[in-house]
Amino acid sequence: MIQSLERAFDILELLDCAGPAGMGLQDIGREVGLKLPTVHNMLKTMTFLGYVTQDSSSAKYRTGDKLRALGMQLETKRAFSEVAEPLARRLNKDVNETVTVTLYANRTWHTLFQIYSEQELSVRASLPVNKNLFISATGRCILSGLPKGELEKYLNTSGMPREDWDNINDFAHLRQALDKIKERGYEIYRRRGSLGIGVPLRLVKRGIDAAIGIYMPESRFEGKHGDAVINALQNTAEEIRTIMEK
């Protein structure tokens, strides 16, 4: 266990319990059992990062906006998972294919959960966290719903997709590809005999950028089953959106 990290969380828990009244440096040092210079340096770092704030008149420390926002995000994700998971399980039973729900956070694609197909030949997503949103159907769906400012911030860190997506190397062509996803309401990504289908799931009122997807062998996508999968996926996404945006 990293002791300095443990002490930092001890301080945050103390400040959370103290509430709006906050705590002074000496009180914090006494409670966590550390020397004042050490506590001061830790508080200085957490203040710089936005997790702690210091009152200019009383010099007391309180939890910062960033920590409160993080708590709100966790609560929102918990509520989203409680709504999405049972509907995703129903979708999994209806189409008997692997279903995944992904979220966008910190310019990274996160798999919230995945429900596997019981068929002998099935496909599973292997990356629970990935910064490259261009290489999956759900990742591209998430990108299609991002506000322009956030999309530009993502591109500043990732660059253009290039060989990861039809050799797109400028913003105009990327915007066209993302707009096509929004128009048809889904994206298909093929790779080495497997296929991923994603549907955007942007919840504006909740501040959630997400997507729901299905993974399956490409050979099973042909004909009526493929059409049924897309329809069921879109219907499930709409049902999740309706419940969450009430």
pTM of this structure: 0.74
What is the Cα–Cα distance from 162 to 122, expressed in whole angstroms?
29
CA distances from 239 to 23, 203, 236 (A): 46, 12, 5
Q: Tell me the pLDDT of the chain (246 aa) as tens digits.
A: 467 888 888 999 888 888 888 999 999 999 989 999 999 999 999 999 888 999 999 999 998 877 776 776 778 788 899 999 999 999 999 999 999 999 998 788 888 889 998 877 666 665 577 889 999 999 999 999 999 999 999 999 999 999 999 999 999 999 999 999 999 999 999 988 899 999 999 998 888 899 999 999 999 998 888 999 999 999 999 999 999 988
List, in order of start, the domains of the chain with CATH numbers: 3-63 (1.10.10.10), 72-244 (3.30.450.40)
DSSP assignment of 30-42, as one string?
HHHT--HHHHHHH
Name 239's Cβ contacts closer than 8 Å, sequence gap at least 6.
87
Please state, in angstroms and rounded to a whole number, the distance separating the CA atoms of residues 40 and 25.
7
